[in-house]
Structure 1
């Protein structure tokens, strides 16, 4: 009898323990689910501080800023970057990082060459988004290979924002890390404090087409690096539906393409400077030289620039006009094919066929 009573008491005790250890009650689980969807699944996250020049940062670091645990927490703006207006990006309304504003890349570049807009336009844009030179701006794209955030981040650095970050791996890395998303629209709050410095504070980050021409002709230490697909580099396609001619500026070397995964690790984060140095070495160049990255219209080329920037290199630039601007001038020299191959053709833009637009 005593054994039966003891067994009964033991069963009751074990059942109570299991109930307590099985997790939250259904209503608590629902609350936790709602908090995760609202970007509150994890709170009071702490992460090691990062250097001001460090560009690519982890989801934990971003959340620690939101939670008030970083020096940057006192003045920051988060931007979800993509082409088109907010209405053209329904994914933003369905789920974005807490407090993030949508940033249309059209706001930072003009249609003529898809170059960065005038200093006056960029300064006004900064004011409209409540950004000064001292504001920490965290950019992210909707996936790990989206260079829209890199394009915006580069523009901010060029303008003079001193602390610019990119969420490494984009929104996908954020959700993989277990952080939730907010729904709806956030509207930026403008500031009238003034930007705090002359825009651009770093005009040296961009090299003009005229300077590229001059350096290709006269400066053996200068390297113009194409961040485009191999097919684009060889002149097989322009890579763009609105660019009819294919080829590269005469003297350009190939630095691989961001769109083919060359600049992304298996985990979706950005490669290190060692990988970039390896690509340059393959092409007979190095980061010890003066290097200008370019692509078709300036997006992809910002990735290697930012990698070199965060690693302390000051001799890298962006040729913002890219192939799009180069192929507009019939007299400019062009190479079609691999310069290391004797079959490479050298001609001028005016002699190129106009049937190489991306189909």
Structure 2
């Protein structure tokens, strides 16, 4: 499949998304895309076992905590960005080349797969996409699954290019509500501080507005139509030209919201990688409780 024909199979809703039917056509052509399985959920460490039990044929398992995050620490948070050379090496082991087309999926509405999408884009790769609806969409097309550890792949030549997606640190996030929109995309109960299952303190960064990232999905785990997502962002002040900073619990699900921005035709905002796990661990940082930003 040439570059022109590859681009022709991109989902017409958004170039970021690929439908299951489009992926089926893709894997029947040459060169086939690199397919990454990024199954991960809070409280479920068995992503690799789930992959062994059934995955899209040809997909490689990508361990989120090993390859898409650095060492957990109180100072940096639960899932800091990994060292760039280590990330490059991990992507090469998965067979990713500089000219590879990459399609990524999970089984939770792309809320985990988006981390891999964002990081590959951060590293300068543009031909990278999310399977809309994830593994469930593939199964719904009647396609078979492969089992076991998957087949070995050739070592790739993927090269990290610096910082093609923007990030902010805690200090910048603290002052962002005075100059732009700071979005907290966690569940409402965590934002309000009614519960906190993972981190040391409950609540949210003062001035942050809550827009849970799960609201961008329909009942089948597919992204809502772009215009509907665009309206949701506009209601919290994120419109064309608005420079939003997005955070979540540890910088994973925030990337899903950034993908939703791009699907809606908005410029993707900035990621606060440390997110609430970093902020809440610093006792000098203020917190806000309840449903209001401040």
Shorter-chain TM range is 0.7 to 0.9
Q: TM-score, normalised by structure 1?
A: 0.70
- Contact persistence 1:133–1:162 (CA under 8 A): no
Which one of 205, 220, 223 corresponds to residue 270 of structure 1? 223
Matched, 1:279 2:232: yes
- Contact persistence 2:181–2:209 (CA under 8 A): yes
RMSD (Å) for aligned C-alpha atoms = 2.8
Structure 2's unaligned 5+ residue stretches are 1-5
Three-state SS of the structure 2 residue aligned to 1:124 is helix
Mapped partners of 1:51, 1:266: distance in 2:
19
- Contact persistence 1:122–1:159 (CA under 8 A): no
Which one of 98, 103, 107 corresponds to residue 138 of structure 1? 103
Which one of 288, 291, 294 corresponds to residue 338 of structure 1? 291
Partner of 1:230: 188
- Spell out the pairing of 1:1-359 with structure 2 (5 A cutoff): 48-50=8-10, 54-68=15-29, 73-74=30-31, 76-83=33-40, 89-106=48-65, 107-110=67-70, 111-112=72-73, 113=77, 114-141=79-106, 143-191=107-155, 193=157, 195-198=158-161, 200-202=162-164, 204-217=165-178, 219=179, 222-238=180-196, 240=197, 242-258=198-214, 262-314=215-267, 316-339=269-292
Higher RCO (C-alpha under 8 Å, 6+ residues apart): 2
C-alpha change, 1:87 and 1:280, in structure 2 (3 Å) is closer
Deviation at 1:301, TM superposition (A): 1.3
Mapped partners of 1:54, 1:207: distance in 2:
26
Give the structure with the higher percent strand.
1
Equivalent pairs, count: 280
1:295-318 Cα offsets, whole Å, 9 max, x none, are 101222111211222454335121
More displaced 10-residue stretch of structure 1: 326-335 or 304-313: 304-313
Deviation at 1:231, TM superposition (A): 1.0
Partner of 2:3: none
Mapped partners of 2:40, 2:264: distance in 1:
28
1:165-214 Cα offsets, whole Å, 9 max, x none, are 11111111111111111222224424363x2452x341x43222232234
C-alpha change, 1:257 and 1:311, in structure 2 (3 Å) is closer
Three-state SS of the structure 2 residue aligned to 1:327 is helix
Q: Which runs of at least 4 in structure 1 moved beyond 6 Å after TM superposition?
A: 84-87
- Contact persistence 2:230–2:264 (CA under 8 A): no
1:222-249 Cα offsets, whole Å, 9 max, x none, are 11101011111111122x3x31311111
Q: TM-score, normalised by structure 2?
A: 0.85
Mapped partners of 2:186, 2:46: distance in 1:
30
Mapped partners of 1:75, 1:230: distance in 2:
41
